[in-house]
Structures are given as C-alpha cells and as structure tokens.
Structure 1
Amino acid sequence: MTSDLASCLWHQTCQENPAFPELTGEAQADLVVIGGGYTGCAAALKAAEMGASVRLIEADAIGCGGSGRNVGLANAGLWLPPEDINAALGPETGSRLSELLAGAPAMVFSLIEKHAIQCEPERSGTLHCAHAPGGLKDLQRRHAQLRAIGAPVELLPREEAIQRTGSEAVHGALFDPRAGTIQPLAYVRGLARAAASAGAQLHSGTPATGISRSGSGWQVATPKGSLRARHLIMATNAYARGITGYDAPQVIPVHYFQAATDPLPAPLLEKILPGKEGCWDTALIMSSWRLDQAGRLVIGGMGALNHFGSTLHRSWLPRKLAALYPDLKETELKSHWHGRIAMTTEHLPKILDLHGGFACFGYSGRGIGPGTLFGTAMAEALLSGGQSRLPVPPAQDHAIPFAGLRSAYYETGATLTHLISDR
C-alpha cells in the first residue's frame, strides 16, 4: 500500500497516537522485532509480558503498512475453508490451525479490553454475502465445513440477509458471530502502546539496513544505530524493504482500495447495517463494506490507486455503492486510500525458520486475527524454546515463481472487472 496516508480515514480518526523515538546508538535486547504492524506489535507485547527485553524497530510510523490501511474486519479463520486448509497442510496441522484461528477474534477483543485500546471495537459478527445466486453454493460449502468443526456460523436466506445488510443486492449470507470490526490503525497503535507499557522499547523512523549473525545472536544495523539480540522476528509481511544480508520471502503483492462516506443520517443508519456487522462478498474480485463508529460507510475492492488505470477503480466505487444502496446514489465518497496484501500460492500464512529467529508473512488479506496470533506465538516459541507453540510448522525456505506476474494478473483482472461491473 503506497497511497498518501493523509487521505486514509483511519489516519484521520485514530484515537491512539503514541510517539516513539528513532533508534540512535548501540543497544542490546533478548528479542529484536522488525516491523510495527499487528504481528510485530503483538510479538513485542507478549515478549515484554514474559519478562524479556525487547526492541522493535519500524521504518516509518507504527501501522504505516497494511495494518493501518486494513478494512478492519476481525475475522475468525482464513480465507480458505477448513477442508482446503487440511488439504494443503494435512488434517492434523490444518485442524489445529483452524482451531487456533477460530479463537483469534476473542484474542483480539480480549487485548482491546485488557489494554483499553480506543479502536472502536464492535463485536457484532461479520456477513459473508452472496453477490449472486451462484455465490450461495460457495457459502453453503463453507457453512457445512465450518459447522463440521463446531463453528457457530449461520447460513442466512436472502430475505434475512437483505434485512441484516439493508441491501437487496445480496442473495444470502454466512453470519459469523465470533467476528467483528475495529478501527485497524488504532488497534495496532494500541498494541504498540501496551507493549511499551509492558517494558518493550519501540522505535519509529528506524529502518533495518543490514542484518547478520553475531555469535549465537543477531546484529541489526540502522541508519543511526545498531542492535544486538539473541532472537529475531521479521514482521514486515507485504512491506519488506531491501536489507543487506537478508532476502525477504517472496509473496504475491495484491492491492486493496477503500473510500468512505461522511457520517450517514440516522434514518439511513436504521436501514443500512443496523446490527453493525462487517461485510464482504463472494465475487472473484471481492468487495467489502462496513460502518465505522461515526456512521460512515466504508466500501472497498481489489486494486491499487497508484497507476493510470486506477481511475477505473475510483469510478467503480460510486456505482458499487449505488448498486448496494440506491439511497446513497448521490452520496460523495471521500478519503480514498489503498494498501498492499501479501499472498502466498496456497493462501496460507507462513513462518520461515531463520535459526534463532522467525519471519512471518502471507496472511492473504486476513491480517488482524492471524497477525495477532502468529506474533504472540512466535514470541512464545523463541523465548520458551518450543516450536510446538507455533500455529504452523516453520519452513526452511520459501519461493513463489513469477510472483510479479501473478500480482499483475490480479491487478489487471480487478481493473477490467471494475471497468464493466455495476453499470
């Protein structure tokens, strides 16, 4: 995600604004974390709570990457349904991952409550909406698989889905009461504040410029200082920069853009998402929509806003808004922004074993719950010496052939879709 952050709604409305200094000079720690998103801040918080000395460095500001540009849906599970996860990882590992991620929203909302994070938490569930009659088949398959592992999801017929969303453009929905919505930037900054309160030392404006092994630990160079640590967590995900001595794992960069209305009047809020669930649809080129605490409707879709064809994304947004809610046909959309998602070929998150450290990446659009879970688990595994705590077994290497071409494929598909759809 590389758009101007001044135009991002979450940066305009964030109520969590802790300040962290740039790292200068030399320092030592038990654990150094590189990256100030959900994963890195959750890892720093857990490690500090375990009594470790922690240094977290972030190249820009906390939450500057995907965590601060997220849709803000705190979902349970992954984009893949359970049987697909099992097919990729094996039934034992896959079932354990699904079980852990089923509890990820509870972990997120528990941290919000424990640390009084001012991030507009709304635990009213999410609605995965059928964008067309054919989308119901996908929801039925997901519903059956989720119910088989004990998930309390509910398949809603079209009439009830229309009532819950306030939109006649949906053809049914899968309701997950475990999930909810948050102000995504405020959540990650709240995690950072909590980590600092627990004793972690965080540094913004501090990119890692070089990494090397130093005896039994790590040496991390920055523009104005350096760090020595026994353990290392690389938590840069889709926003990895070039670092001497470190080859970031390949991912498929996929972009997602959003915009928001002004706060809607009370009569419309009585009809549009009256239960305040967050929504996304079953279309191949996915769309999402939700309300924030002030009653703004936030709507988005796949694509980037930093190339010539992005005018097609921008022109599609008001058409999509009107298709969902005809009463909003003349409503102006503001605060356009976009961000970058790290995908893997299997649509599964990965942990790479750095031998004394871990790199984590590839949430494929599900960063809030999995990022919190994986960051916490990696800190526990490094400090306790037990990799059995990890949600997935760590890999020794990782490669994606033609990652750039795959990214271009997704962007081209999204652009062409937004050229012709909802006209």
Structure 2
Amino acid sequence: MRNDPRTHGLWEASAPAAPPTGRLERDLTADVVVVGGGFTGMSTALHLAERGISVVLLEAEEVGFGGAGRNVGLINGGMWVMPDDIPGVLGAVHGERALDLLGGAPLLVREVIERYGIDCQLEKQGTLHLAVGEEGLTELRDRHRQWAARGAPVELVSAEETARRVGSAPGAYTGSLLDPRAGTLQPLAYVRGLASAALSAGARIFTHSPVLATVRQGEGWKVSTASGSVSAGFIAVATDAYSTGPWEVVRDEQIFLPYFNLATKPLSPDLLKSILPNREGCWDTKEILSSFRMDRAGRLVFGSVGALRNTGHAVHAGWAKRSLRRLFPQLGAVEFEYAWFGRIGMTTDAVPRFHRFADKVAGFSGYNGRGIAPGTAFGKVLAGYIAGDIAEADLPLPVTEPKAQLFRNVKAAYYEAGAQAAHVVAERF
C-alpha cells in the first residue's frame, strides 16, 4: 500500500484482492456510518448489515491499512493483563464480562470465517505462550490457574513437549501454555474477507474517504469527507491507533509501540516436519517479546518490538537471524523474503476502551496488540448496542472519557530506541 513494501509486506503479497471500493463522491443517507476499515469497523458493519440496518463505512486509506493489515496474525483470547487483574481495572462486573467475551472471541472469529467462507489461511491448532526461564514458567502457571478457574480449556505443556511442538533447541523454553481456542490467520486476507461479507450483506464501503468534520443534524449526524457526506442516526468510531480528524484523541490516548515482522522463504518439507509441524502460533514471556508462526506456504514469520527504519532494519534483521539460528539450529543460514512493521497502540492500563464521544457517537479502541479477536467481538457488540439489543449498562466495558497521554511521542521514541539497543547486543553471546 502506498507503494511501500514495509507497511504490509507478506500479507499484501499473499492476500486475495480487496473487494472493489471507491471514494465517496456524493451525499448519502444511512442508519449508521462506521468510520474505520479495520477488524472492528468491518465487524460492526457486517453485524449491522446482517440485521438489515443501513450502514455506510468510511475508510481514510484502504481496507486493512492500519493495524489490521500489519500484525502477526495470532488469534488470541483475553488480553495481556492477567485474568484476575482485569476486574480490578474494569470493576468486578465489567471485568468478568470482558473476560467472558474475549475468552470466546477466537471462536467467534472461526465462526465468521466459516459462515462466509473467508479465505484467510485459518489455522485452528491453537497458540503456545512460551515460557522463558523459571520466571516465565511461573507467569504461565498463574495464567493457567486463572483461566482454568473460569472454565477455559487451556493446558500447561512441559518443556519437553513444548520443544517437540515448536521444534526448538533443547532448553529454549521451560514450558508453554496451550490455548486450543486460538490459532493463526492471514490478517489482511481476513479483514478483506470481512469487507466482502459486509458488502454482500448490504453495507456500502468507501475507501480513500477520510472524515473531515461532523455536524449535528436533527437527531442524527452529518459526516463529511472531501467530496461527499453521509447523514446517519449513529456514528460508530473504529479508527483506533491510526485515528485522524475528529477522533485524533483516540490515537493520542495510546502510546505507540513499534512492532516488526520478517518472513523467511518457504521452508523445505524436511524443515516443516520439525518446525511448528502442527502450525501453532507462538510468542514468549520476555519483556521485549518475540513471536513466530507459519504461513500457508511454509514461511516462518518472526517478529518483535522495533521499527524497520533508519538503522533499525539492519539491527533488527541481524538480531532475528541470530535468534532463529539459536532457536532452530536445523534452519542453517536464514534469509528473509519480506519485512514490514506497524504500531501497537498501548493504553495506560493495557485494557481496551469504550467511549461515548457524544449522543449517538461511540466506539471501542485500545487493543494493546490483540486486535483480531477483540476487534471482531467488540464490533459485534457495538452493532448490538447500536441496534438496541444491548443496553449501555450491559456492555463488557464501562464508559470512559478519552484522555491524551502526556509525553506520548517521547515515550514512543524511547521504546523504539530501547528495542533497537536491546537487539544490538541480544543473542551475540
């Protein structure tokens, strides 16, 4: 996109084409206007259209341009925060609601994919959260206990079985937590598939149509772009960390954490028998974490915190090669075929937000690197809320006011520089 291979990398090269869309160049009327063409926006539009509600979606760039088209592609349940800690952050009622919704969100993703026949390289073998050292194993034991108490089918896996499943060198991991509900997919293909499903259900989607202004109009709103407008009764805001225009505060209440992915050339059949033979998605417990998974063609996709710009590309690629040689000695010389990066929006407490910006203007945001399943689930919830099927008092998140974080750009630059400094020396000794 934008003729830049480092924005969407492998995903743009391997995703089915996006459905035909164009710029909004006229004045329209709808029941709801959705702003943002990522997982949340497309899920909202789809679930509204399924109800027979007239919906127009406006995307400033292209479908999946933001985090939806750049991420690792792990379909995770829950959030980074420990399950027992979430009620303390959100309150007892909302905390347990959120855990129930997000724990089952990967299964919703599967259901949507299967119902609409979305071709997005879905793998349903689960994910492995990999323990590094005894501290990492203690964390996973706590996480397992807390999820199991809520009925989640998670399983602690021994160090030996983890090594077999991952194909990693002995001692690389002290164990892992298997979540069979989870899995992997091709994220850009998935969000494009959601767009096609929404269109087939009756939604109207316009790209390259950033919202410039909103004006109260009777009991509803007029949403204007450079060459058109939509008059609607409700505005669903789904712009998240890439927000511009009227809802820049959604972006400003998050600190950006850069994250990159590198994809190898397709591995040989022999290597595919030993490295992730079951195609689980993986990430570890390190503070500067690593993630890896396979794509359908057998490329190993490996990522971590950092931005592939300026000196960062050489530093992070060098670190990734050293890490992969340590983890998978059988790989031999490592060559990367694709490289791309984006940004993760981090809220102050690492949990999502529900904002009511004005009467009949609301949205979910702040996924902290967990966009696929939560975005799909919150989009469905938002559609139910708009349709009147879910009362505000019954939502899985409390209503909060957006508030810009102080020194967010300084903090983001610190994270980018810190990740690069850590990767300069990591795996050298």
Q: TM-score, normalised by structure 1?
A: 0.96
What whole-Å deviation, never above 9, does each CA across 1:339-382 have from its counterpart, x for those lacking one? 11111011001011122121321100000010001111112101
Deviates more, 1:54-63 or 1:218-227: 218-227
Residue in 2 that maps onto 1:413 = 418
> Is contact 2:281–2:293 with CA below 8 Å preserved after alignment?
yes
The aligned counterpart of 2:58 is 57
Please say if 1:293 is aligned against 2:296.
Answer: yes
CA deviation vs aligned residue, 1:376-418 (integer Å, no higher than 9, x gap): 1112101216224532122134332322222223222211211
Partner of 1:44: 45
Which residues of 2 match residues 140-159 of structure 1 at below 5 A? Answer: 140-159=141-160
Q: What is the CA–CA distance in structure 2 between the aligned matches of 1:117 and 1:293, rounded to whole Å? A: 15
Q: Following the alignment from structure 1 to structure 2, what is the Cα–Cα distance between the partners of residues 7 and 343?
A: 20
Say whether 1:199 aligns with 2:202: yes
Stretch moving more, 245-254 or 409-418: 245-254
Code of the aligned partner of 2:103: A
- Quote the Cα distance in structure 1 between the aligned partners of 2:143 and 2:249: 37
Q: Does 1:382 align with 2:410?
A: no
The equivalent residue for 2:367 is 363
CA distance in 1 between counterparts of 2:99 and 2:249 reads 29
> In structure 2, what residue type is equivalent to 1:421?
A
Q: Out of 354-363 and 369-378, give the one that drifted further.
A: 354-363
Do the aligned partners of 1:127 and 1:174 also contact (CA within 8 Å) in 2?
yes
Q: 1:246 to 1:159 in 2, by over 3 A?
A: closer
- The correspondence for 2:397, drawn from 392, 396, 404, is 392
- Do the aligned partners of 1:211 and 1:246 also contact (CA within 8 Å) in 2? no
Is the deviation greater in 13-22 or in 231-240? 13-22
Q: 1:7 to 1:92 in 2, by over 3 A?
A: closer
The 10-residue stretch of structure 1 (393-402 or 232-241) with the greater mean CA deviation from structure 2: 393-402
Q: Residue 286 of structure 1: CA displacement?
A: 0.9
**Does the 8 Å CA contact 2:18/2:63 hold for their aligned counterparts?**
no
- The answer (yes or no) to whether the contact 1:16–1:117 under 8 Å persists in 2 is no
Alignment partner, residue 314 of structure 1 = 317
Describe the shift of the 1:374–1:328 C-alpha distance in structure 2 as closer, same or farther (beyond 3 A). Answer: same
The 2-side partners of 1:174 and 1:114 are apart by 29
Root-mean-square deviation (Å): 1.7
CA–CA distance in structure 1, aligned partners of residues 334 and 53 of structure 2: 51
Residue aligning to 1:186? 189
The answer as to 2:356 corresponding to 1:373 is: no
Unaligned 5+ runs, structure 2: none
Aligned position for 1:211: 214
CA distance in 2, matches of 1:202, 1:128: 37
Deviation at 1:15, TM superposition (A): 2.1
Q: Distance in 1 between matches of 2:202 and 2:162?
A: 46
Shift of 1:246: 6.4
Residues in 1 aligned to 2:381 and 2:413: alpha-carbon distance in whole angstroms: 33
Contact 1:377 1:389 in 2 (8 A): no
Partner of 1:401: 406
Q: Which moved more, 1:398-407 or 1:87-96?
A: 398-407
Cα offset, 1:146, TM superposition: 1.1
Alpha-carbon shift at residue 16 of structure 1 (Å): 4.7
Name the amino acid aligned to 2:372. I
Matched, 1:98 2:103: no
Match of 1:342 in 2: 345
Equivalent residues of 2:7, 2:70 under 8 A apart: no
Distance of 1:320 and 1:342 partners within structure 2 = 26
Equivalent pair of 1:321/1:329 in contact (CA under 8 Å): no
Q: 1:241 aligns with which of 240, 244, 268?
A: 244
Instruction: Name the residue aligned to 1:253.
Output: 256
Aligned to 2:274, what secondary structure does the other structure show?
coil
The size of the alignment, in residue pairs, is 422
Match of 2:34 in 1: 33
1:126 aligns with 2:136: no
The 3-state SS of whatever aligns with 2:343 is: strand
Q: Is the 8 A contact 2:70 2:188 kept in 1?
A: yes
8 Å Cα contact 2:36-2:58 kept in structure 1: yes
Residues 349 and 255 (structure 1), Cα distance of their counterparts in 2 relative to 1, 3 Å cut: same
> What 5-or-longer segments of structure 1 have no aligned partner?
none
Alignment-derived partner of residue 282 in structure 1? 285
Residue 283 of structure 1 and its aligned partner are, at CA, apart by 0.4
Q: What SS does structure 1 have at the residue aligned with 2:189?
A: helix
For residue 161 of structure 1, what is the aligned residue in structure 2?
162
The SS at the match of 2:133 is coil
Matched, 1:110 2:111: yes
Q: Secondary structure at the match of 2:86?
A: helix
How far apart, in 2, do the equivalents of 1:246 and 1:7 lie?
23
Q: State the SS of the aligned residue for 2:362.
A: strand
More deviation in 217-226 or 397-406?
Answer: 397-406
Inter-partner Cα distance in structure 1 for 2:102 and 2:139:
20
**Aligned twin of 1:21:** 22
